[in-house]
Structure 1
Amino acid sequence: MSQQMGGQPILILKEGSSRTRGRDAQSINISAAKAVASAVRTTLGPRGMDKMLVDTIGDVVITNDGVTILKEMDIEHPAAKMMVEVAKTQDDEVGDGTTTAVVVAGELLKRAEDLLEQDVHPTVIAQGYRKAAEKAIELLNEIAIDVEPGDEEILMKIAGTAMTGKGAEAAKDKLCDLVVRAVTMVADEDGTVDTDYVKVEKKVGGSIEDSEIVEGMLIDKERVHPAMPKKVEEANILLLNAAVEFKKTEVDAEINITSPDQLQMFLDEEERMIRNIVDKIVASGANVLFCQKGIDDIAQHYLAKSGVFAVRRVKKSDMEKLARATGASLVSSIDAISPEELGYAGLVEEQKVSGEDMIFVKKCKNPKAVSMIIKGGTEHVVDELDRAIEDALRVVEVAIRDKKFVVGGGSPEIELSLRLREYAATVGGRAQLAIEAFATALEIIPRTLAENAGLDPIDTLVDLRAAHEKGQKTAGLDVYTGKAGDMLALGVVEPLRVKTQAISSAAEAAVMILRIDDVIASAKSAGPSPEEMAAMGGGMGGMGGMGGMPPM
């Protein structure tokens, strides 16, 4: 990039920098974004296929989850990275609908390209897209249906929709039941839910059907001493965030021992201190101890003699969940141990799960934290199950929080498409073209669902449009019959936020990519790296002899 002035070129950018301008820049960015959308497009819907991703060290991920695919792909192009951001936002906000968001964003850009060729200015398209997105969200709110947090049947269907098409489908009913039970258990009185309190443990072995929910906590540890009981009923649980060991002095102290008796006294005193701590624990009435720090060997012995079931070095996150599940308080000093701080569980026991010891804390009175064990034949199956359950948990959480849902199966997109075309006519002007393009772009969802199910996309769209024209607002594509069906009756439902978030983030990303008309990329630094310089013999006269080398 240089400016001619009096025959002397003036360099503005560093040599080797590249610049792409105008229509070229737009078409390159749009192509990159479309490529990302096409990468995940085939995974959409109940008949979607999976992707196998192999990284540099040969680890394999097999998944149907849009955001996982995009995170695992090493994406270089800056416009393509924006599409990955769309999927991440969708995942953080709602947990499901990542593929939808990316596919819609890709299609919006594709439609915008047609308009750019007709010389519609990018700003006009951006303005039209914004209006259309606002209107779409307004329309979605109108067609949304209310759901009560106690309506388990609908929540099961919402969880089911999130799992359909992923590896979890084989045991969908069983898993949906687990998900809904888990979420309703951890819900607080005011209806807020935090799915962080549902702990999901993966274990390879057994089949999907063996997955279960533990009304309480599951901890991947074993008791510290074999002489401790394996099973404690009517457990009074102490959660301790302090080490059960001899207290060392805080300051550097020197102890001079001059005779063997003194040494013996010193050791006895150490032991006595530890016995005191154990006595304190036992005196509080605790018969189960979860300790976040270490438990000394001598302490282990005394605890075992007193019949206390103890576990050490429990993760902080697990301690917090245990506190919620059992009603215990986290005690951070030995002196603060008292009967009031204890929690309760009907049963604490160590069991073998797929050959590994795990501790089950069950039969809690009102568990506000629960655990799920997911099992499957191979590691890949279990990982994909975990992702499916994660999505289902989040979606049920969102549905309970927002208390609104819409039907799936491409139905809301067709409805929006029709309504937006009516709206476009009222707006007029060039923006009308952009709103119509937005309406057409939304049809990519039912279209893709049809393609992935091996159906004819055009026949399907005609079918669906006809049904919606007749006022069947919940008509969507039933991929199993290939016809338009009532999605509400079929139980294909998802939270309203999945759709609103997908449309708003897709529109925002598309507008952002559209408005770029100039891509200026800095030069990759030319010349040998400092390491190579050193290898070449460092000196080289300070590179002076090489004339006009550009500074690095």
Structure 2
Amino acid sequence: MAQQQQPLIILPEGTTRNLGRDAQRNNILAGKVLAETVRTTLGPKGMDKMLVDGLGDIVVTNDGVTILKEMDIEHPAAKMLVEVAKTQEDEVGDGTTTAVIIAGELLKRSEELLDQEIHPTIIALGYRQAAQKAIELLDQISIDADDKDTLLKVAMTAMTGKGTEKAREPLAELIVGAVSQVVEDGKVDSEQIKIESKDGAAIEDSELVSGVIIDKEKVHPGMPSEINGAKIALVNSAIEVKETEVDAEIRITDPAQMQAFIEQEENMIKEMVDELVAAGANVLFCQKGIDDLAQHYLSKAGILATRRVKKSDMEKLAKATGAKIVTNIEDLSADDLGDAGLVAEDKVSGDDMIFVKECKDPKAVTLLLRGSTSHVVDEIERAVEDAIGVVASTVEDGKVVVGGGAPEIAIAKGLKDYAETISGREQLAVTAFAEALEVVPRTLAENAGLDSIDSLVDLRAAHEDSIYMGLNVFEGGVTDMKEAGVIEPQRVKKQAIQSAAEAAEMILRIDDVIASSSQGAAAGAPAPDMGMGGMPPM
């Protein structure tokens, strides 16, 4: 009698596995669904999404990366496209929706090629060749520019279609002013532009402060609320009696000794305040605590002080005022102090804030954004962050392209010509890549309520004469985008095309999804219910 062969079990119980075409189909479907979700938010006529979390908190936005971050996404392939949006946000600050919908369209086109029995590796290779050629074509259609007028147009284009649209001109002035102020050696550290947002006023009341706003109040009511010609000390240690390094016990046998002990502590704190006065400081920002007694002495000395200031704010204060952050107050000298024309405590929307203004050539500035409600202010802040990112990219690269879907049509036209020079099946993948890029002008037309086919045909015809012809979604025709002032940084398009191509290529190369039991549903198939104790269900 033949011995019955024992089944070989490699994967743990409850693991699900999708192989070959099923795995590809599932992953492509996930990418397409995600792209469709954010697609309606693209362009000046894009709609907003309302996202409600488990606690009932509401976010209303049309910012692609915010939507994707707030959504509770389970599918592993969809998570890869969320990473595309996050990378786009980190690198450029704008174009997140564009990157995701191009990636989704590339996956959709690849499905058609897979149905024609073209191997995924050939499609991936074709996409890689197309992406490289697309970047070359993008360089050819780019315009050199870094003057203020161009920067203003770039900022306004980034804010069109967002909550800031009605006040985009004054906001663009503030943003360009902020970015121009923090440029160092041709590079922009956007971390040095602090954004403080407060509701209870109109968007037009937003202002650019040549210095830093600290969301704190002075520590003692007796301190002055306003100091002109401020000399600022930044201290990152506590102004209080220092604890001993080791546990120590002090035995006091006489009331006089007790008095002497208290006086000694008082003198230590007084000496610290005297050090500040001797150095010439009249404003103190402390990263740690300030003792009650120290507050009293600082108040008597006429010094405006605040405590528990965030480390990031201390660094911005140093950049804005030229002060050095001191650890030991005994080492403080006049050279360590920073300068500001005015330091004042002011009430904004019911909260006390300390304004450090009128700094000489500050390398850190603050944008105080206002809006009618907290949801409005949050959306303004997201739009302003995008605009800061695109202005910074333009300052660093000095290269821009026009908007309105014009670059995508120009690149698609160039790619179709390039495809004819390629032999082999990769030609089909390059053509598919070209057609996928046309999703941007097509979506712009759909979101504006225009006929997408007519718009695409008109755009292609117009590009025979000029590469700057784009879709005017407000009037419904084809216009010269360069003259209309619709301008975007080259880096936004470059990053979107590269990220989308790489993500689509990575997803295409997956032919096997192995998910553990807890992730079974996420991978597209529910884990089998094994019932009690691993036995088959009754």
Counterpart for residue 520 of structure 1: 514
For the residue of structure 2 that corresponds to 1:386, the secondary structure is: helix
Matched, 1:170 2:170: no
Match of 2:275 in 1: 280
Question: Residues 1-12 of structure 1: matches in 2 within 5 Å?
Answer: 9-12=7-10
Match of 2:21 among 20, 23, 31: 23
Deviations 1:50-101 (A, max 9, x none): 0000011111111111011001111111111111111111111111000000
> C-alpha displacement at 1:38, in angstroms?
0.2
- Structure-2 change in CA distance of 1:85 and 1:548 (3 Å): closer
Q: 1:214 aligns with which of 205, 209, 214?
A: 209
Give the whole-Å Cα distance in 1 for the aligned partners of 2:534 and 2:197.
Answer: 61
Letter of the 1:403 partner, please give it.
G
After superposition, what is the alpha-carbon deviation per residue over 1:321-355, rounded to whole angstroms, capped at 9, x for unaligned?
Answer: 00111111111101111111111101000011011
Would the alpha carbon gap of residues 30 and 548 (structure 1) be closer, same or farther in structure 2, given more than 3 Å must change? closer
Alignment partners' CA distance in 2, 1:459 and 1:160: 28
Paired residue for 2:90?
92
Give the Cα separation in 1 of the matches to 2:251 and 2:513.
Answer: 74
Aligned to 1:104: 102
SS of 1:167's partner is coil
Deviation at 1:269, TM superposition (A): 1.0
CA–CA distance in 2 between the matches of 1:433 and 1:28? 23
Query: Match of 1:256, as an amino acid?
Result: R
Deviation of residue 12 (structure 1)?
A: 3.4
Secondary structure of the residue aligned to 1:374 is strand
Query: Which residue does 1:531 correspond to in 2?
Result: none
Q: Which residue of 1 aligns with 2:491?
A: 497
Q: Tell me how far 1:166 sits from its aligned partner.
A: 1.1
Q: 2:125 aligns with which of 124, 127, 131?
A: 127
1:147 Cα deviation after fit: 1.6
Within 2, Cα distance between the matches of 1:128 and 1:156? 38
Q: TM-score, normalised by structure 1?
A: 0.93
Matched ranges for 1:252-271 at <5 A: 252-271=247-266
For the residue of structure 1 that corresponds to 2:220, the secondary structure is coil
Give the structure 1 partner of residue 528 of structure 2: none
Residue-pair matches, total: 523
Residue number among 479, 501, 511 corresponding to 2:473 in the alignment: 479
Residue 294 of structure 2 is matched in structure 1 by 299
Give unpaired runs (5+ residues) of structure 2.
Answer: 521-531
Mapped to 1, the partners of 2:246 and 2:6 lie a distance apart of: 73
Alignment-derived partner of residue 36 in structure 2: 38
Return the offset for 1:24.
1.8
Mapped to 2, the partners of 1:257 and 1:251 lie a distance apart of: 19
Tell me which residue corresponds to 2:524. none
Deviation of 1:141 (Å): 1.0
Residue identity matched to 2:123:
I
| Counterpart for residue 53 of structure 1 | 51
Alpha carbons of 1:548 and 1:33: their partners in 2 closer, same or farther (altered >3 Å)? closer
Q: Distance in 2 between matches of 1:185 and 1:10?
A: 67
Provide the residue aligned with 2:500 in structure 1.
506
CA distance 1:548–1:152, shift in 2 (3 Å): closer
Q: What amino acid maps onto 1:33 in structure 2?
A: G
Counterpart amino acid of residue 278 in structure 1: V
Give, as a single letter, the amino acid of the residue that structure 1 aligns with 2:472: D
Deviation of the 1:547 alpha carbon: 8.5
Task: Give, in whole Å, the separation in 2 of the partners of 1:549 and 1:440.
Answer: 52
Deviation, 1:549, is 5.5
Query: Are residues 1:160 and 2:162 paired?
Result: no
Structure 2 counterpart of 1:137: 135
Once the two structures are TM-superposed, the CA of residue 19 in structure 1 deviates from its matched residue by 2.0
Flag structure 1 segments of 5+ consecutive residues without an equivalent.
527-545
Q: 2:432 aligns with which of 428, 433, 437?
A: 437
TM-score w.r.t. length of structure 2 = 0.95
SS in 2 for 1:256: coil
Distance 1:234 1:428, change over 3 A: same
How many Å separate the matches in 2 of 1:50 and 1:463?
Answer: 28
C-alpha deviation, 1:428, in angstroms: 2.3
Given candidates 205, 225, 240, the residue that maps to 1:230 is 225
Q: Distance in 2 between matches of 1:380 and 1:126?
A: 42
| Counterpart check, 1:191 vs 2:191 | no
Q: Aligned equivalents of 2:263 and 2:211: distance in 1?
A: 40
How far does the alpha carbon of each residue in 1:137-165 deviate from its partner, in whole angstroms, 9 at most, with x for none?
111011111123xx111011111111111
State the Cα deviation string for residues 260-308 of structure 1 (Å, max 9, x = none).
1110111111111111111111111111111111111111111111111
Match of 1:534 in 2: none
Q: Which moved more, 1:382-391 or 1:508-517?
A: 508-517
- Mapped to 2, the partners of 1:258 and 1:6 lie a distance apart of 91
Give the superposition deviation at 1:242: 1.8
Match of 2:12, SS?
Answer: coil
Q: RMSD of the TM alignment (CA)?
A: 1.6
The code of the aligned residue for 2:175 comes to V
CA–CA distance in structure 1, aligned partners of residues 324 and 369 of structure 2? 29
Partner AA of 2:477 in structure 1: K
TM superposition shift of 1:8? 5.2
* TM-aligned CA deviation for residue 523 of structure 1: 2.8
